[in-house]
Structure 1
Amino acid sequence: MLNGLREWGKIIAKIPEKYPILVKLYVIFSWLSIFALIYSLIFIEDSRKIFIQFLWSYYVLWQFFILARSKTLPWKIYIRFFLAGVWLVAPLVVLFMTGIHRITGGEPHDLWSQAVVTPFIEESFKLLPLFFFLLLFQRAKTMSLADFALIGAATGAGFQFVEETLRRLANNGIFSEIFGYSSSLLSGGDVIHWELFTLFPGYFEENLFPVRMSVSHAVATALVALAIGSAVRLRSKTGSVSYSIPFFFFLWCFLDHSALNSFDKFDEWVYEIHDWIGNGYYTKPVFLLFLLIAIIYDYIKLNSIRTKLPLLEREYVIEPVREFFDLFFSLLGDRKRYKYLLVFYRDRRELGFRYLYGNPGDYTEIEKLKIRTAEFQKQLAVMLTLLLILSVSLSGAVVSMIQAVHDPACLACVFEDIGDWWNGLDTVDQLMIIGSLIALSLLFTGPWGAITFGLAAGDVLGMAGEFGTFLRNPRAWLAGLARMGPQEALAFGIEAGLSRIPEVRIGKKIGNKLEDYIYRLVRDSSGNILRGQSSTLATRLKQAGEPKPRPWYAAHHIVPGNESFNADAVAARRIFDRLMLDPSRTYTHLDDPINAAINGVWLPQRRGIGTEAYHPEIHTDVYYAELHRRLRAVTSKEELIDVLQEIKEELQQNIFPY
């Protein structure tokens, strides 16, 4: 299976050489994505929050990469583990914990979940990319100890990027605006430190006057990963006893994480043990000491075979200090020499570790059989691990579906809130956010991978509301699927399959946007323009000095356009037209009074972010009946404007009936 994947990889790698036009299109698309990123950073607040957190994560990644002097991993492979933490580890942790909560009936804020199970699952799952790499790839056998630390750091940084990005987007109240997003009175005053002149920022302290702390996810995972690498190297001498090293450091990091999340609710003996290991303040110094020892060990092993390795002129010992200063001064002077030295030193280290830890070329048939058996056992272990993770996650989903009819899962509320926020954004804002994600991904991966990431994120956000509805009442969705005929079901399956292909999805999105634009300009069968565009109303409100209060607000038509066929809505619209429209004029959606600021009000698209009426639930028969009742007595344009202003104020106070 792995050989087949490698062959496919070689074929795909040759495509740019075979079709040069793809390279040119990629360059054009890259520039467009960068422009989209710049636009979103200027005009979209949430995009700036995401980008700020990305810069912090990028800064942490570079700190580790510079310190790991005996590394053999190139930046491209290193950053892929960061993406694994973002796209694989973080979602798996959420799914797994959701499954546990649904199976056990617990809540995320229960002590056993928050301070025991969640820290254990997070610290364990962050090691999964390293385990899979060790089990499935031959390259992993010839890594330096510093490479183990880099893999752990990148995965932990990716996981924390997701965690902190969500925290920045969610914590937007008055307290957060005053003290920063990382402070919270409700959770005991946790403080997350992102400081420029700090080695490995992103650490946690329990409050403003802390007695314990927890290092960042990058440091914790790097420490355990480095311990795993040490166990792998010492196994030939000490046997299975060597695995006590990663076990000890895993418990250390788990206790740091657990003690911080417990908010002093554990028994005193737990905190006494935590005090013995420094209350979290010793973890980073221990890691730095461990990393220094690992680098020294790596270079001692390289020098043991230096006669087999290429050396520079007057270089008698391979050591990191000379390598660092050679690179530093060549960077300031001769850039070509810098690039040469950078590649030379890394390739020499990789060659040395291949000599040290690589497999001999010749095996007997019995040895080959043992190797194949061992490889099969590794693949089986991977499959069983994945099966366990998916089983718990899917079991939680099944329990949620069963309970949804009587007790809708809180998970549905989360998806609905995400959907409300996404739907409340303008189309341009949505496209800019997706473009920003694609531009960021282009820094790490190829064009199609970046496009896939961006479109996948857009799909998840766009379907969040529908998925929340499904979680609340899955039987209704399944019943609708059961009512499909064979042809409809086949068409549904084909469309779902095609939508996974990036090219098809891009074309579909462009087609949908074009169709939406044309839809706004054409007339309906009765000759009237299609009225009531929220985007036009939003523009008119901003021009009238009423900016959008927050990103999750939408422009609401007090008197609806002709998209509503409710009898009271139609009657209210006729009164509005009689007093506001000039019979001698022909209107477009740009100058139609239905889209004027006097007929609009900003309402929240997401629960809990404002005191106004909740926009997704306001289009009811009760609302239209009350609107018609009030407009019925209006006889002039001035009276109509006064009534609309009165209704606007009541909607802002959430006292208008609906």
Structure 2
Amino acid sequence: MRWLWDRFEEACHAILGRFPWIRNVYAVFAWFSFVVFLLSLLFLKDARTIFVQYLWSLYVLIQFWLIGRSKTITWRTYTAFFLAGGWVIAPLVRWVVSALNRVFGLIPSDVGSMAVLTPIVEEIFKLLPLIVFLLVARRSSSLSLSDYVLIGAATGAGFQWAEETVRRLVSTGWFGYGETLFGKFIHWEFWTLFPGKFYESSRPDLMTPSHAVETALVALGIGIALRLRWKKPREVGAYAYLFPAALLFLAILDHAAWNGQDDFPRWVLNLHAFFGAGFQAIPLLLVLWIVAIVYDYWDLNRVREELPRLPSEHWLNPLTEAYETFRVFFTKREDVFLLLVFYRERRQLGFTWLYGDEDARERGEALDGRLHQWLMWLSTAAVFLIFTWAAWNWLLTWPDADGSCFTCLFDGFTRWWGGLPWYEKAGLLFGIFALSFPLLGFWSAVGLALTVYDVAETADDLAELWRDPRKLQSPEVVLGTALTLGMMVLPGGPGKKPLASLAFRRFERHMPLPGSIGVDKTQKLFREVTIAGRKEFEMKYGRKGTGIYGIPDDLVVRNGKIEAVVEAKMWSREDWYKLASYPPEDIVYKGFPKKIGEQERRFWIQFEKHRESIDYLQSNLDKFPEARRLGIEIPVPIDEIRWVLKVSDSAPDEALEIIRRAYEAHGFPVEIYKVPWGKGK
């Protein structure tokens, strides 16, 4: 499956490289769709109806996202499962149920279709995105238990978004959406954990929770089963899958009992009542999830010595991370995103050490340390469109204002904003947050909304400065600005410990060599190289090419040639001494084993694998247009390339010298590049 997925990705990249206009067409289509969406909110009631359901689904996603303290997946991956649940699984379920109805001679209103086929198909098919991810994704073996919950919740929430959107649109007649003669039966309350539950308000004797809860519960069961099989394969074996099977049975029973409550025989409803009548799902999920989070951090603490930590950290735990996040949010808001990325990347690195298979370790941990530029650009443009529309309304609202006076817009904005009640202000800010959240992530969207609020509250000051820029020459303004900037950048300023910001970035990104093309670009290029190299190796020799090609941490490119290959290692002093104690042949080609937790891992400086990748790249430059875009145009002899070992300045010189001589004897002229890193730095 992974090999097929690699071939598919390679084909897509080749098509995009050959026809770059496809990206431009997609960008135009995306912007056109976005503008049409904004206009539809103003003029179409159905669009506002759909948006209301989207906001509820987004609220459910946020709740799960905030609780999942041990997560390693990104917001982009999280929302991808949401989209899969809404746009892939929901139509697929409808098609499969319709086909089965024809096979069994049923119609949708029959109890056999509504209360038997539909629950079984829906609850099973909502697990398909998780199963495909486990089969295809190279980092699937390094998921935390919280990741399973989030993947299941996102898929279920997406499915319910599609289902409830249709229900809202077709709800007409005497009773509105979610209402029957017996009262309300679909519950979306703000002060409720995981809203979207189904139960009759007049006789709440049974219920079924939201699709997000049911799918998250079964997905967590799958994660627990896989973890048990990995830890105790002989003792547990295939019996581990009985646990998620039992949770799936409960989910199907809850769903079926609700749909067939008026038609099922009494013994089915009694069985449902015996297992909790649907009310057990949320408490059971919370209990299992809390245990899973505690276990995730217990696992991470087994390898904490191998993970980067902030100076104040001794034990990794969610409470300390949450406290540090809130502290930085209120003292140095712009560092919150970096801090959250650091925590997430560290968790992913830890689970890769603990559970990652060969594919996960080879792929590396090339996680983004900052927002992608195109997302920032798109979000900025979206906010610009919102304010353009708002400015047009100000001009219509205050006809006495001079439209040619730019500062009058600020004055009008101040009067308009100041005249709004608090709940309308909150609604506007939440709307900005909701529109930017899918693009930027949670904390960045919060920061954007707060920035808009700050601008709105100080619009009159901005107008005065625009009218009279000489006020910027005021000593108070200059001194205040200089003090603010100084506190932001100096070590020990608000939200910072001395040079603690070094820990916010990955070690590989810190202090790159002059001429470096960057970690992200290097790893993106060599992922393509390794995929192509493996494919050619497998076609030529008929066996797997895993472990032959490597992904360098960075490259230096000058005058169209590769000048240096960087391998970054953030090892302890003991690890350097241990490697240096081995024979030269083992230093270069084998490394040394080290037990991390319950597993043994090999510590190795992978210049040999990097050389294979460099050789393949330079022999096939015409296959990689990305290499030419990065300036790699002229192949150079492999013995002319510098091999740079990037290490912490705490690494012992005597051990490094032994290692350097061993690699030099095997054709690698290694240079040592020390950078300040670690506690107290």
TM-score (norm: length of structure 2)? 0.50
Q: Does 1:304 align with 2:307?
A: no
Q: Does 1:41 align with 2:11?
A: no
| Equivalent residue, structure 2, for 1:285 | 283
Superposition map of 1:456-605 within 5 A = none
Shift of 1:114: 1.1
| Equivalent residue, structure 2, for 1:64 | 64
Superposition map of 1:354-503 within 5 A = 354-360=352-358, 443=438
Contact 2:127–2:215 at 8 Å: present in 1 too?
yes
Determine the C-alpha separation between the residues in 2 that align with 1:48 and 1:361.
45
| Equivalent residue, structure 2, for 1:232 | 226
Q: What CA deviation, in whole Å up to 9, does each residue of 1:344-399 have, x standing for no partner?
A: 00000000000011125899xxxxxxxxxxxxxxxxxxxxxxxxxxxxxxxxxxxx
Determine the C-alpha separation between the residues in 2 that align with 1:339 and 1:12.
34
Q: What CA deviation, in whole Å up to 9, does each residue of 1:231-274 have, x standing for no partner?
A: 00001312111111101111111111111111232222222222
Determine the C-alpha separation between the residues in 2 that align with 1:31 and 1:227.
40
Contact 1:200–1:219 at 8 Å: present in 2 too?
yes
| Residue 347 to residue 109, structure 1, CA distance change in 2 (3 Å) | same
| Equivalent residue, structure 1, for 2:155 | 155
| Residue 12 to residue 313, structure 1, CA distance change in 2 (3 Å) | farther
| Equivalent residue, structure 2, for 1:132 | 132
Give the 3-state SS of the residue equivalent to 1:174 in structure 2.
coil
* One-letter amino acid of the counterpart of residue 87, structure 1: W
Superposition map of 1:21-170 within 5 A = 33-170=33-170
| Equivalent residue, structure 1, for 2:239 | 241
Q: Does 1:204 align with 2:198?
A: yes
Q: Does 1:183 align with 2:179?
A: yes
Give the 3-state SS of the residue equivalent to 2:305 in structure 1.
helix
Determine the C-alpha separation between the residues in 2 that align with 1:441 and 1:327.
21
| Equivalent residue, structure 1, for 2:217 | 223
Contact 1:183–1:190 at 8 Å: present in 2 too?
yes
Q: What CA deviation, in whole Å up to 9, does each residue of 1:604-636 have, x standing for no partner?
A: xxxxxxxxxxxxxxxxxxxxxxxxxxxxxxxxx
| Residue 442 to residue 197, structure 1, CA distance change in 2 (3 Å) | closer
Shift of 1:276: 2.0
Q: What CA deviation, in whole Å up to 9, does each residue of 1:532-583 have, x standing for no partner?
A: xxxxxxxxxxxxxxxxxxxxxxxxxxxxxxxxxxxxxxxxxxxxxxxxxxxx
Q: Does 1:5 align with 2:1?
A: no
Q: What CA deviation, in whole Å up to 9, does each residue of 1:463-501 have, x standing for no partner?
A: xxxxxxxxxxxxxxxxxxxxxxxxxxxxxxxxxxxxxxx
Determine the C-alpha separation between the residues in 1 that align with 2:132 and 2:142.
15
Shift of 1:172: 1.7
Determine the C-alpha separation between the residues in 2 that align with 1:132 and 1:34.
30
Give the 3-state SS of the residue equivalent to 2:139 in structure 1.
helix
| Residue 305 to residue 14, structure 1, CA distance change in 2 (3 Å) | farther
Q: Is 106-115 or 295-304 further displaced after alignment?
A: 106-115
Q: What CA deviation, in whole Å up to 9, does each residue of 1:63-117 have, x standing for no partner?
A: 1111100000000011100111111110111101111111221111111211111
Shift of 1:442: 11
Q: What CA deviation, in whole Å up to 9, does each residue of 1:193-225 have, x standing for no partner?
A: 011111100010045322111100000000000
* One-letter amino acid of the counterpart of residue 153, structure 1: A
Contact 1:93–1:121 at 8 Å: present in 2 too?
yes
Q: Is 28-37 or 252-261 further displaced after alignment?
A: 28-37
TM-score (norm: length of structure 1)? 0.52
* One-letter amino acid of the counterpart of residue 279, structure 1: A
Determine the C-alpha separation between the residues in 2 that align with 1:228 and 1:304.
23
Shift of 1:26: 7.6
- In structure 1, the gaps of 5 or more residues are 364-438, 446-658
| Residue 207 to residue 12, structure 1, CA distance change in 2 (3 Å) | farther
| Residue 5 to residue 265, structure 1, CA distance change in 2 (3 Å) | same
Determine the C-alpha separation between the residues in 1 that align with 2:133 and 2:360.
24
Give the 3-state SS of the residue equivalent to 2:179 in structure 1.
coil
Determine the C-alpha separation between the residues in 2 that align with 1:111 and 1:134.
34
Give the 3-state SS of the residue equivalent to 1:263 in structure 2.
coil
Contact 1:182–1:190 at 8 Å: present in 2 too?
yes
Determine the C-alpha separation between the residues in 2 that align with 1:46 and 1:300.
48
Give the 3-state SS of the residue equivalent to 1:108 in structure 2.
coil
Shift of 1:275: 1.6
Contact 1:79–1:444 at 8 Å: present in 2 too?
no
Highest RCO, 1 vs 2 (Cα 8 Å, sep ≥ 6) = 1
Shift of 1:31: 5.7
Determine the C-alpha separation between the residues in 1 that align with 2:290 and 2:195.
19
Determine the C-alpha separation between the residues in 1 that align with 2:59 and 2:129.
21
Answer with 1 or 2: which has the greater Rg: 1
| Equivalent residue, structure 1, for 2:259 | 261
Q: Does 1:315 align with 2:313?
A: yes
Contact 2:194–2:213 at 8 Å: present in 1 too?
yes
* One-letter amino acid of the counterpart of residue 182, structure 1: G
2:334 to 336, 339, 343: 336
| Residue 13 to residue 184, structure 1, CA distance change in 2 (3 Å) | farther
RMSD between aligned alpha carbons? Answer: 2.9
Determine the C-alpha separation between the residues in 2 that align with 1:137 and 1:256.
31
| Equivalent residue, structure 2, for 1:613 | none
Determine the C-alpha separation between the residues in 1 that align with 2:308 and 2:221.
30
Determine the C-alpha separation between the residues in 2 that align with 1:324 and 1:12.
44
Determine the C-alpha separation between the residues in 1 that align with 2:248 and 2:191.
28
Give the 3-state SS of the residue equivalent to 2:186 in structure 1.
strand
* One-letter amino acid of the counterpart of residue 184, structure 1: T
Determine the C-alpha separation between the residues in 1 that align with 2:289 and 2:338.
26
Contact 1:224–1:246 at 8 Å: present in 2 too?
yes
Q: How many residues align?
A: 362
| Residue 242 to residue 192, structure 1, CA distance change in 2 (3 Å) | same
Determine the C-alpha separation between the residues in 2 that align with 1:111 and 1:4.
44
Determine the C-alpha separation between the residues in 2 that align with 1:22 and 1:170.
36
* One-letter amino acid of the counterpart of residue 306, structure 1: R
| Residue 257 to residue 206, structure 1, CA distance change in 2 (3 Å) | farther
Q: Is 51-60 or 322-331 further displaced after alignment?
A: 322-331
| Equivalent residue, structure 2, for 1:252 | 250
- In structure 2, the gaps of 5 or more residues are 362-433, 441-681
| Residue 260 to residue 149, structure 1, CA distance change in 2 (3 Å) | same
* One-letter amino acid of the counterpart of residue 144, structure 2: S
Determine the C-alpha separation between the residues in 2 that align with 1:267 and 1:48.
41
| Residue 119 to residue 441, structure 1, CA distance change in 2 (3 Å) | farther
Contact 1:80–1:444 at 8 Å: present in 2 too?
no
